Structure 1
Amino acid sequence: MSLKLASPWLLLSCSLLLLAACSSAPRISAEADPTADFSRYRSFAFYNPLAVEQQGYSTMTSNRLRIAVRTQMEARGYSYSEGNPDLWVNINAYLQEKTSVSTMPEVDYDWYYSYRARAYVSVPHWRDRTTVRRYTEGTLNVDIVDARERRLVWEGVAVGTVGRMDPQRRDEKIDQAVSGIFARYPYRAGAR
């Protein structure tokens, strides 16, 4: 096969792979308070208790979320300080069972013998094919709060389909979701 003939197929294959990768990634949104002065923030701490730890104890997932968020905040120049932070970071996550119903029309043909035409005749009949899919949707919120004013200044949200997975894969997915959320956080510590 020549390169000229192979390039459209290669382009199509790459496009399909890219679309498949995008469909499995969470939907991410973020919103900032336009009146907040992010240049004055230099330190952060986690809100106590975190929304994901409402039962009064930490879990493997909440610990992984803390590590991922702390890594992202420190990568942006913020220092961790429990004493008197400029920002509080709160993390919330929840799961919700969802049902997706889709209907697609289908046609099938039956053959009947027509005595008038003295031949077999195809007769279409239509029906709807309904597909029901149950899945779990997970939502991860990262809230950044001005500690002095006790006011939300930035929020990032990731929403995606969640399934059972081993702990290592779960940690990778958490890191990817938190990284995706912070990709929408354009601020750096003390930057003017």
Structure 2
Amino acid sequence: MRKTYGIQVLLILPLALLLSGCMIFGKQKYGSDYSYSGMFNKYKTFNFITHASNEDTATLKNYEVLRKFIRERLEIQGYTYTEKKPDLLVSYFIFFDDLNMKGYEQEEFDVWLAENADNGEGVKSKDPYKPIKIYMSQGTLMVTLLDQKRQNAVWQGYTSGVLADKNAESTVYLNRAVRTIFDQYRVFRQGYLRESYNHN
């Protein structure tokens, strides 16, 4: 029997507290946020959080497409999909209306991670969270990675201008949105690049 994961709204709400600054590319706005307590060099496996099943057919189809693209991207970065005790749970959602978010200004994720990694024991930092306000226009895709064991969000990426109409279908836009988001999560599973090099 296939195992799926759900999470209560109360666990999703704190994600708004992990938002950092945005970049603007044309009319598209994108950015990413991270938790200073994330153990990014320990995560190896992932699964998805189940979304509500009462969405309309078009919306559900878009979510299935997103799930496929997100899974492919994480596997390219060395993570393994598993239904048994995954390290990371992946949540993704499209906000079709305008979105006002409270967030935090942070250093670029990969720069911060390189400076704060602690020899495989996670990340230790006393950096303060600097609150900012973020406005996202219609059609914002948000992808959140949650530490399954700790049940808290550790990274979140988002981009606007994806789909403003919930009845629209566009694999091209969805694929581009996933790439935009995960280009900000430049974290390969620990040892993956070395393993790939040795195999070649």
Fold shared, TM-score > 0.5 on shorter chain: yes
Cα deviation code 1:100-125 (max 9, x no counterpart): xxxxxxxxxxxxxxxxxxxxxxxxxx
Paired-residue identity, %: 23
Q: Paired residue for 2:70?
A: 69
In the TM superposition, what is the alpha-carbon distance from 1:72 to its structure 2 partner? Answer: 1.0
Q: 1:163 to 1:34 in 2, by over 3 A?
A: closer
Alignment of 1:26-65 (within 5 A): 26-47=28-49, 49-50=50-51, 53=52, 55=54, 59-65=60-66
In the TM superposition, what is the alpha-carbon distance from 1:37 to its structure 2 partner? Answer: 1.5
Asked if the contact 2:89/2:148 (under 8 Å) is kept, the reply is yes
Cα deviation code 1:14-38 (max 9, x no counterpart): xxxxxxxx425x3111011122121
| Residue 141 in structure 1 maps to residue 142 in structure 2 | yes
| Residue 91 in structure 1 maps to residue 104 in structure 2 | no
Asked if the contact 1:39/1:191 (under 8 Å) is kept, the reply is no
In the TM superposition, what is the alpha-carbon distance from 1:55 to its structure 2 partner? Answer: 2.2
Asked if the contact 2:162/2:177 (under 8 Å) is kept, the reply is no
Aligned residues: 128
Asked if the contact 2:139/2:164 (under 8 Å) is kept, the reply is no
Which amino acid counterpart does residue 188 of structure 2 have in structure 1?
R
Unaligned runs of 5+ residues in structure 1 are: 1-21, 99-135
Q: Paired residue for 1:175?
A: 175
Aligned CA RMSD, in angstroms, stands at: 2.6
Measure, in 1, the Cα distance between the counterparts of 2:75 and 2:35: 21
User: Which protein shows a greater Rg?
Assistant: 1
Which amino acid counterpart does residue 178 of structure 1 have in structure 2?
V
Secondary structure, in 3 states, of the residue corresponding to 1:77? coil
Is the deviation greater in 55-64 or in 28-37?
A: 55-64
Asked if the contact 2:162/2:173 (under 8 Å) is kept, the reply is no
Which amino acid counterpart does residue 41 of structure 2 have in structure 1?
S
Unaligned runs of 5+ residues in structure 2 are: 1-24, 100-136, 193-200
Q: Paired residue for 2:158?
A: 157
Task: Provide the TM-score with structure 2 as the length reference.
Answer: 0.57
Task: Provide the TM-score with structure 1 as the length reference.
Answer: 0.59
More strand by share: 1
Cα deviation code 1:50-82 (max 9, x no counterpart): 3xx352787110100101110111111000001
Alignment of 1:7-18 (within 5 A): none
Q: Paired residue for 2:132?
A: none
Secondary structure, in 3 states, of the residue corresponding to 1:144? strand
